[in-house]
Amino acid sequence: MSGQPGPTPIVIADPRQMRDLILTARRAGRRIGFVPTMGALHAGHASLVEQAAAECDDVVVSIFVNPKQFGPREDLARYPRTLAADLALVGAKGAGWVFVPEASTAYPAGHATSVVVAAPAADFEGAVRPGHFAGVATVVCWLFNVVPADVAYFGAKDWQQTVVVRRMVADLAIPIAIEVCPTIREPDGLAMSSRNAYLSPEERRRAVALHEGLVAATERWQAGDDVAAVEETIRASLQSRDIPIDYARVVDPDTLLAPRPGAAAVALVAGRVGTTRLLDNALLPPRS
């Protein structure tokens, strides 16, 4: 991340004002990039803003801790809120506008509508976190109407989320391009995540098992091992660090079903390090 202070972005809470600003800029021929976030921004988000700034004339970042994508026993209340630092970060990376809606505008009185994506949302995070992806899809659909940008940027770290969002955009003909950007990692390989802040020093050391498992799995994949053996490689890495496994699977990157012979695949892993759930994944190249 740049150490230089950037210009302070304009903070907007009103959806209508946000939409009007975007439409005015687009009518003037400007290309708009959008980075939806829940705040607690880290270098992963910073890379999305940088990518958007490199490709677009104006960049909007939304910061909204969406209550509907948290389950009743999840970490909504303690999810980190770091607005001042977030504004400084995205301003330094080139975002001109930050959209910070109130929950009451995203969910007006009598709100009753959900966007539900069936197949690609059913397994993995969808199975562990019932209702999570309906919460994600609903708020992202709302955000795409309020922030009608040319292109939206998502991190590959939440791979299933990118599949669900792309499926929704295709199915509802939402007029926005989706760009998925590489996972940003700590020096030891741990994927950047706002939830890494929950880890104790001892948990933080063990957490690298997800990345190490994926690296080993990628080697086994390229050596020609079958899917079950590649998955077992990931599981062994988590087990060696006493991390309970939610899933460790190799699937098709677009459908999250069984991988097609010879095609690229994605290895998805989720585990529990103490009370903190961590996710990671690795794209596995096509092999003959």
Site of interaction with a copy of itself (CB under 8 A): 15, 19, 27, 107-108, 110-121, 137-138, 141-142, 145-146, 148, 167-168, 170-175, 255
Q: How far is the CB of 207 from a copy of itself (least distance, A)?
A: 32
Q: Which is nearer to a copy of itself, 43 or 122 (CB)?
A: 122
Q: How far is the CB of 21 from a copy of itself (least distance, A)?
A: 14
Q: Which is nearer to a copy of itself, 114 or 222 (CB)?
A: 114
- Reported as half-sphere exposure (CB side, CA atoms, 13 A), residue 107 has a value of 12
Give me the DSSP letters along 224-270: T--HHHHHHHHHHHHHHTT--EEEEEEE-TTT-SSPPTTS-EEEEEE
Within its chain, how far is the Cα of 68 from the centroid?
16
Instruction: Specify whether 45 is catalytic.
Output: yes
Q: How far is the CB of 60 from a copy of itself (least distance, A)?
A: 15
Q: How far is the CB of 113 from a copy of itself (least distance, A)?
A: 4
Opening angle at CA 26, ends 24 and 32, nearest 5: 120
Q: Which is nearer to a copy of itself, 56 or 134 (CB)?
A: 134
- Tokens 């001109």 — which residue? 96
Q: How far is the CB of 72 from a copy of itself (least distance, A)?
A: 17
- Cβ atoms within 10 Å, residue 21: 20
Q: Which is nearer to a copy of itself, 68 or 277 (CB)?
A: 68
- Tokens 């959806």 — which residue? 15
Contact 157, 39 (CB under 8 A): no
Identify which of 215, 5, 189 has the alpha carbon closest to the alpha carbon of residue 91: 5
Options 45, 111, 132, 211, the catalytic residue: 45
Q: Output phi, psi for 152, to 5 deg.
A: -115, 145
Q: How far is the CB of 15 from a copy of itself (least distance, A)?
A: 6
Q: Which is nearer to a copy of itself, 4 or 113 (CB)?
A: 113
Question: Cα-atom radius of gyration of the chain, to the nearest Å?
Answer: 19
Q: Output phi, psi for 287, to 5 deg.
A: -140, 150
Opening angle at CA 96, ends 79 and 196, nearest 5: 25
Q: Which is nearer to a copy of itself, 2 or 114 (CB)?
A: 114
Gap between the Cα atoms of 116 and 98, Å rounded: 27
> Which residues does the annotation mark as catalytic?
45
